[in-house]
Amino acid sequence: MSRRVATPRARLALVWLLALSAACSADPGRDVVRMAVPGEHTVVEADTTTLALDAVRKSQAASVSQRVANTDIAITYSRPVARGREIFGGIVPLGEVWNPGADQATAITFSRPVRVHGEPLPAGTYSIWGIPGLTEWTLILSRAGEVYHTPYPGEAEDALRLVVPVEATTHTEVLTFDFPFVEGKEAVVRLRWASTALSLRLEVP
């Protein structure tokens, strides 16, 4: 039986395929695991209802998530809209405890222990509360993570209280949480509404 001898073109194709395979296996992007998002392990039947406009909630539900190193951080909240109203010192009184959101209390979840402004905080879900002021706020993370946005669960449930400065910002019509800074093992969570912004510095292990 005669043996086939690979042609130069066939040898070149084989070398190219081997090189491509090695390059793909070395791509670090293939090792990145998609981050968990709120509710991803819950199977929910799609809602096919068409809502009438007047049945849509005034403050619509939202979530924002960020992976910092291998710690997942997720915020779930409802988003009130300014609609020409005076916000802080108006519909949100100064000097009183307020949940920045509507409906179910705004909550933040950490998959691992973190530091917030240098203060240690165990993994878990915490509702977010604030006492607005003109130049600074007291921000509160409460161990009562799954509660309605009123009333405030009380100081006995406080996991952390921080005083943070108010930052001026361009007008933000809809209450917004975001992550404007993520680098290495550090991140910033920012709250924005009307012309007010607040930032929380986070560090992960």
The answer to whether residues 197 and 111 touch, using CB atoms and an 8 Å cutoff, is no
Distance CA 132, CA 134 (A): 7
With a cut of 50, say whether residue 63 has pLDDT above it. Answer: yes
More confident residue, 33 or 186: 186
pLDDT at res. 90 = 97
Q: For the chain, what percent of residues have pLDDT higher than 70?
A: 78
More confident residue, 32 or 99: 99
Q: Report, as an integer, the average pLDDT of 75-81.
A: 97
- The string of pLDDT tens digits covering residues 81-119 is 999 999 999 999 999 999 999 999 999 999 999 999 999
Each residue of 20-52: b (16+ CB within 10 Å) or e? Answer: eeeeeeeeeeeeeeeeeeeeeeeeeeeeeeeee
